[in-house]
Amino acid sequence: MDSVDLEVLKTSARWLEEGHRALLVTVVKTWGSSPRPEGAMLAVRDDGLVVGSVSGGCIEDDLIDRVRQRGIEQAHPEAVKYGISAEEAHRFGLPCGGTIQLVLEPLTPRSDIAELCNAVEEGRLVARELNMNSGEARLGKALATDGVHFDGERLLTIHGPRYRMLVIGAGQLSRYLCNIAVGLDYQVTVCDPREEYTEEWNIPGTKIVRTMPDDTVLDMKLDERCAVIALTHDPKLDDLALMEALKTPAFYVGALGSRRNNKARRERLKEFDLSDTELARLHGPVGIYIGSRTPPEIAVSILAEVTAAKNGVSLPTLLKVEGAKAAREIAASGGEACSA
């Protein structure tokens, strides 16, 4: 789930603790273009205070006005649609042809929002089933491939980290990268057998392991919702992780380094009997080219490329570090080819 939606749940739980009433709004279905995906959430407090979003803003304004005018008087969840007509779509800021269906749920102790927040913060993937007739909610186990389901009587939503990230190395760059990755809602594992790097590791929301990288990759049983990023600059560690990770279905496998080091790395990995197809999956030099120099900027560059891969976006060569730098060198030399 999106970290923004976790904020919605945590804020809702706090409002209930403080004695307020709250309306939880969930996107359950969209037709055409829509600003927010199915499962996106918004909460409105009984005085009109709001957290989260379900559209570009106009639907939020309508929901806030609704609560301020009528209060939260409903006893059970209800489903509503916005953008059915072109006029309504325009009024609520939906793209042309866009329609969105929402479930408006008045929160009560039976909603189990606090319990849901605890489960998500513990890193568990949870399915929440809401009974539209009674307003009762039940929590259960979920699979990463599960999605939102709404049939008019039952709303099933999935909460928790669906994507995992394995970072090799606990150095300074890893700290910045992991902080951002946690915000992007990855379940982050940092692997570094070097005690001098792991002793002071204290990034909230991450797990540190001191096993060898190849063993860690095998233990994690990486799937299509996993990313692996090698950041140690030490071939003895990075190569161990990469030689196993490239054999898995992980959607992203990358390694930090210069173009020269990347070329040498690929030659070394060939000795581990990796096929050309497997080697072609390696992102390296890792990241997109934004002129980054500092560890925070490099972290942004790397996670931008990871995000593109996660969303199925194929980046043009000129956006990648190797292609961009090669193009700059050619331009600087007056158009003559130069070696990387």
Lowest mean pLDDT among 60-69, 73-82, 101-110, 116-125: 116-125
Q: Is the pLDDT of residue 87 over 70?
A: no
Beta strands in 112-221 (DSSP E): 126-131, 137-141, 149-150, 154-159, 163-168, 186-191, 206-209
What distance in Å separates the CA atoms of residue 174 and residue 167, rounded to the nearest whole number? 7
Count of Cβ atoms closer than 10 Å to residue 183 Cβ: 12
- Checking DSSP bridges between strand 137-141 and strand 126-131, what pairing results, if any? antiparallel
Q: What is the pTM of this model?
A: 0.68
Q: Is the pLDDT of residue 261 over 70?
A: yes
Query: Please, are residues 40 and 8 in contact by the beta-carbon 8 Å criterion?
Result: no
Best CA proximity match to 101, nearest among 49, 138, 155: 155
The predicted-structure confidence for 163-186, as pLDDT tens digits, reads as follows 899 999 999 999 999 999 998 889
Look at residue 82 in the predicted model and tell me its pLDDT.
86
Most distant CA pair in the chain, distance: 73
Q: Is the pLDDT of residue 318 over 90?
A: no
Token digits for 180? 């951002």
Look at residue 95 in the predicted model and tell me its pLDDT.
57
Distances, alpha carbon 169 to alpha carbons 176, 211, 249, 298, in Å: 12, 11, 22, 15
Q: Is the pLDDT of residue 108 over 70?
A: yes
Q: Is the pLDDT of residue 89 over 70?
A: no
Best CA proximity match to 214, nearest among 188, 242, 192, 189: 242
Distances, alpha carbon 245 to alpha carbons 6, 105, 165, 334, in Å: 30, 43, 12, 40
Lowest mean pLDDT among 36-40, 151-155, 243-247: 36-40
Cβ-based neighbours of 255, under 8 Å, separated by 6 or more: 229, 230, 231, 238, 242, 262, 265, 282, 283, 284, 285, 286
Q: Which residue has the tokens 């009109």?
A: 48
Lowest mean pLDDT among 91-100, 151-160, 300-309, 325-334: 91-100
Phi, psi torsion values for 126, nearest 5 degrees: -125, 140
Dihedral angle computed from the Cα positions of residues 69, 132, 114 and 17, in that order, rounded to the nearest 10 degrees: 30
Mean pLDDT score of the chain, rounded to an integer? Answer: 88
Q: Is the pLDDT of residue 255 over 90?
A: yes
Q: Is the pLDDT of residue 333 over 50?
A: yes
What distance in Å separates the CA atoms of residue 43 and residue 51, rounded to the nearest whole number? 5
Return the amino acid letter for 239: D
Which percentage of the chain shows pLDDT scores above 90? 59
Token digits for 93? 């800021």
List domains and CATH numbers for the chain.
3-159 (no CATH), 163-326 (3.40.50.720)
Lowest mean pLDDT among 9-13, 45-49, 148-152, 271-275: 271-275
pLDDT mean over 9-37: 89
Model confidence band, residue 337 (pLDDT cutoffs 50, 70, 90): very low
Q: Is the pLDDT of residue 3 over 80?
A: no
Best CA proximity match to 54, nearest among 68, 39, 74: 39
Return the amino acid letter for 204: P
The predicted-structure confidence for 188-243, as pLDDT tens digits, reads as follows 999 999 999 998 899 998 999 999 999 999 999 998 889 999 999 899 999 999 99
Q: Is the pLDDT of residue 272 over 90?
A: no
- 275, burial (CB in 10 Å: exposed 0-12, middle 13-18, buried 19+): exposed
Look at residue 2 in the predicted model and tell me its pLDDT.
57
What distance in Å separates the CA atoms of residue 5 and residue 51, rounded to the nearest whole number? 9
Beta strands in 89-182 (DSSP E): 99-106, 126-131, 137-141, 149-150, 154-159, 163-168
What distance in Å separates the CA atoms of residue 72 and residue 66, rounded to the nearest whole number? 9
What distance in Å separates the CA atoms of residue 81 and residue 68, rounded to the nearest whole number? 20
